[in-house]
Amino acid sequence: MEPVAVGLIGAGPWARMAHAPMLAKGPHTRLAGVWARRPEAAAELGAPVFARVEELFEVCEAVAFCVPPAVQAELGARAARAGKALLLEKPLGDSLEAAQRLADAVAEAGVASQMVLTLRYAAQTRAFLARCGEIQPFGGHAANISGALLGDHPFATPWRLQRGALLDVGPHVIDLLDAALGRVTAVRAHGSSLGWTGLLLEHEGGAVSEASLCMAAVGDVPPPTFAVYGRTGTAVLPSFDDDPLDVIAEEFAATVRNGGHPLDAAHGLRLQRIIAEAEAQLAP
């Protein structure tokens, strides 16, 4: 089968580190071209650079996004209306309203979509979730602590500095607890997105989980942790450095050809609703 021709929108640090090499590596995808606000940065990614995003749409079957959430929401809707499948970053948009517009555009156009919730593609995570399904889980906790908002960290970008941990790493943490313990039905939040954020999540079936998020910690910090407790056992996600990008590319190619990925734009919108509810409860 021919590799899927994917256009890339964005040329920032994550595009350089992940999206561009992932899409160019093959065998399931090929990097058909790049559009970015800074053409000189796009030129460093080793693919044709297009001056207009519509020109990029003309040479690809699908579009991958590596831009701030507000830009993704706007250009993602345009790509959907152009009939392109979408590989979307989290969060779906910079607001619930923007995320809703993008998800609506995807649904109305009938195009395939898939979210890059990176943890969910790792073999260790899938084994962890399978274990959770065996232990009749009733509770769990997670922590994602870093100093990514400090100093000259490559991910201390304007939207992260403004919105903080809940909008950035919150989708990863909420998504995994949601997959492990059942759909989140309610959230209570305290603290601050730019400092320490605490979440209490209620899940379908009565399970409850707690999450701690922070991107302003100084010094050495432990790796992210996830643990789930059940009536017949315990599941703990081990620390790992494996790179799941090959799996993302392979599954996205299948999504483009066949549709139907569980981590689609509708799933991203559901996560955004939880995050919006939590943000409304936090101190400014």
- Please choose, from the candidates 72, 132, 82, the residue with its C-alpha nearest in 3D space to the C-alpha of residue 102: 72
Residue with tokens 């030129």: 43
CB-CB contact of 60 with 233 (8 Å): no
Gap between the terminal Cα atoms of the chain: 51
Say how far apart CA 116 and CA 18 lie, in whole Å.
Answer: 11
pLDDT at site 11: 96
Residue with tokens 């065996």: 134
CB-CB contact of 100 with 181 (8 Å): no
- Give the mean pLDDT per block of 10 residues along the chain (284 residues): 95 95 97 96 96 98 98 98 98 98 98 98 98 98 96 88 96 98 98 96 98 96 96 97 94 97 98 98 83
DSSP 112: -
Say how far apart CA 80 and CA 93 lie, in whole Å.
Answer: 15
Token pair for residue 73? 């929401």
Say how far apart CA 27 and CA 20 lie, in whole Å.
Answer: 14
